[in-house]
A and B are shown apart, each in its own frame.
Chain A
Amino acid sequence: MSELPGDLQFTKDHEWLRKEEDGSVTIGITDHAQSALGDLVYVELPEVGQDLETGGEMAVVESVKAASDVYAPVSGSILAVNEALGDDPEQINNDPYGDGWIVKLQPSGDDAETMGPDEYQALLDELDA
């Protein structure tokens, strides 16, 4: 089990968020999520400029075996999407916390229900048990 990056926040839906210095957040799915999904073959990304409510469908990640929704962990407007995933969705498998980022979002509120690395690790330990 690899160590969780300490600068990230996590959701119970196995997404991660990183608060950037400019106030935006970068969002992806966790190592646990990519491992459970298996090899990813397609990522459906939102439009830049699209507004999302907390819990709204933000992206879809499809592995060989299943499609899985990625929900907006916080309300806001899409600033950028990781276009490289179009040709190489496996970047999420290979580097979920780096090159496998999915979107950058400008939050419009502070309503994210997130947890820190320790709490998320406890959730994963519970799932493994």
Chain B
Amino acid sequence: MGLKTPLYQQHVDAGARIVDFGGWDMPLHYGSQLDEHHSVRKHAGMFDVSHMTIVDVHGGDATLFLQKLLANDVAKLSKRGKALYTCMLNPTGGVIDDLIVYFLTATEFRLVVNAATREKDLAWINEQAAAFDVTVTERENLAMLAVQGPAARELVAPLLPEDTRDAAMQMAPFFAVESADWFIARTGYTGEDGFEITLPAAAAAALWDGCVAAGILPSGLGARDTLRLEAGMNLYGNDMDDATSPLEAGLGWTIAWSPEDRDFIGRAELEKVRANDKRQQFVGLLLESKGVLRDHQRVVVEGKGDGEITSGGFSPTMQRSIAMARVPAGDYDQAQVEVRGRLLDVRIVKIPFVRNGDIRIEL
């Protein structure tokens, strides 16, 4: 038996198929992963993401510390509640984790990191923090519920604390509002509008039940994965890891190169990769025929060499198989993927595949 979130009983009661995910007993689906996927794209679904790790960084050096720790630059943030997506790199320029950092004040930040990387992340953050005037606190006894889809915000609004409701409905994407231990962010991992709501563990079941009553469909890790793949959002451990440069994982846009004298961890090695025009590129693939692309399948690019699918699967929205892949440098729009000994044609396409319910790729 693994770790259980404060919503475990809700999952069991809703008929979830429970699987192990990074040591946690989590819902894979509640009957049909496809129904859950479509519900998020067309209406509203919700995901228990309480297994994610929340770390508060407070102190006089908080800004300086995070400017060193993170490859994106928290100095871009000046409005309370503003969020920033970033990688945390190791000295060799590989990705320790990807995370969201929220700015509260110049001395108060919140990080949300992955569940499966919790221990190494905390060890690394604490080790780096020793040289700074900061306190690093893992927040416990909190739950997190992601409510996603075009109708999600309207449906969940009446269930939010009264003093946050108006602000939550009015805030722009990638902002958060707080009230006591509630933290409501307009973020997500599906490519749809919605909230990620952090709240006291003791209040989680009531929010869940309220969402069910409001018609928000419980959705599991399976739908979460197909939604994020369509949205072209990276999954740590699949699309990048400690040995992968963010520049070869489609995450170049998250690196803040200026100011040039900001010496974030991993910068020196990253500069070398940046200067190498033979570095691999990260692209989307669309399977031209029927079938399903899968993680780790070989991508064959004629005259260029081989690449690898980092995340592949079936797109319920497009009714075609799609993938994200690391492939050789160069300008080309066709490749092949080896599926059970056969080479199938794929088209190189721009990520994301789907955003806000709309297919972005010509089929």
Instruction: Spell out A's residues near B (CB within 8 Å).
Output: 38-39, 41-42, 44, 60, 62, 64-65, 67, 86, 90
Contact = CB atoms under 8 A, between A and B. Distances in A.
A60 B222 contact: no
Contacts of A67: 292, 294
Contacts of A90: 34
Interface in B317-337: 321
B291 A38 contact: no
A42 B294 contact: no
Contacts, number: 37
A70 to B, nearest CB: 13
B28 interface: yes
Given A64-B33, A64-B314, A65-B222, A38 B28 contact: yes
A67 B292 CA distance: 8
Bin the interface of chain B by size.
10 to 19
A38 B290 contact: no
A44 B292 CA distance: 10
A38 B316 CA distance: 13
Given A62-B314, A64-B226, A42 B290 contact: yes
B363 to A, nearest CB: 16
A42 B290 CA distance: 7
10 contacts: A38-B28, A38-B29, A39-B33, A39-B34, A41-B34, A42-B292, A44-B291, A62-B314, A64-B33, A64-B34
B272 interface: no
B313 interface: yes
B18 to A, nearest CB: 13
B32 interface: yes
B32 to A, nearest CB: 6
A65 B32 CA distance: 12
A90 B319 CA distance: 13
